[in-house]
Structure 1
């Protein structure tokens, strides 16, 4: 069970939580760049997900994020997931920043809910052509973690908090990756629409 008492009252806490959750979803969904084709959900392909690079001081955060991304790819796509670089598709990542900030306080003035923010650079590349399929140079993802009544103090490296952050991040990343790579590029849609609008010639012989 989580704490709901604070100086602002339960209603204020609920409003803050809703705002934070919505802001986190918006932040995680923006900023990607799709550069070429559909991946067909990875059918018949291998995706390499080597360990992300950790540029923060948070111990093993890159391992948690990498492992959860691999699990999510296995669960939600048809890729064969490997840990080395020898895949049809390569996903590389760098953990650029991590921070935890109190957003709700109890009657004693201590934080009872924290927003955890992680910034990650993600790039997905076709190993055969070298083309970038998906890229986000700074993916900012937020997750709210509430302390249980038995917890006296929050630690930014809290195992349960980091594990949940990693799971939610991986779910959001893989969902966005699959949505982006299923989308048809705008120029292709415009070309197809223009061709369908032109009158078709009937009975015209093919000239050699």
Structure 2
């Protein structure tokens, strides 16, 4: 009896969710119907962080390819171009040792991005202040600390790529 009630409850919840028009994140496409392909050129880097633009570009391309909502193509074949700039990087100490040396740092990265239709130059979507942060451990070895920082940048680039992707398609 309890099992039947549980199944009935789950089915009713599924019907309610479907009736409300709820959709899972990243599945809605509000782009104009003529935009079926996009180009994602290498982001610009307005910071002193070496190669950060490549990390972010790679993460965004991977996210758009993974979702398969549009084809990622070369600029000459694209219906729209998603351009981006890594505008700012800030690193702060968030945890100190007893000797007041850094034990953990937080890196925050800001990105500006826009999607422009190629045939008429119309900006379809834009956000000038996307940001994301992550923390990483500081080691006595500068090499280990730099590796940890790179791993944090890569992780936050993946999260930002998902946010950027969802924003483009859902027009937030």
Same fold flag (TM > 0.5): yes
- For residue 39 of structure 1, the aligned residue among 26, 31, 48 is 31
Q: Which has the larger radius of gyration?
A: 1
Aligned equivalents of 2:160, 2:121: Cα separation in 1 = 26
TM-score, normalised via structure 2 length: 0.70
In structure 2, relative to structure 1, the CA distance for the partners of 1:126 and 1:179 (3 Å cut) is: same
In structure 2, relative to structure 1, the CA distance for the partners of 1:126 and 1:43 (3 Å cut) is: closer
Question: What corresponds to 2:155 in structure 1?
Answer: 164
Q: How much is the aligned-residue C-alpha RMSD, in angstroms?
A: 2.7
Alignment of 1:83-94 (within 5 A): 83-94=74-85
The secondary structure found in structure 2 opposite 1:63 is helix
Highest relative contact order (Cα 8 Å, sep 6+), 1 or 2? Answer: 1
Unaligned stretches of 5+ in structure 1?
1-36, 182-208
Unaligned stretches of 5+ in structure 2?
1-28
TM-score, normalised via structure 1 length: 0.59
Q: Deviations over 1:1-44 (max 9, x none)?
A: xxxxxxxxxxxxxxxxxxxxxxxxxxxxxxxxxxxx9227x897
Question: What corresponds to 2:5 in structure 1?
Answer: none
Aligned equivalents of 2:155, 2:34: Cα separation in 1 = 28
Name the structure where strand makes up a greater proportion of residues: 2
CA contact (8 A) 1:117 1:143 kept: yes
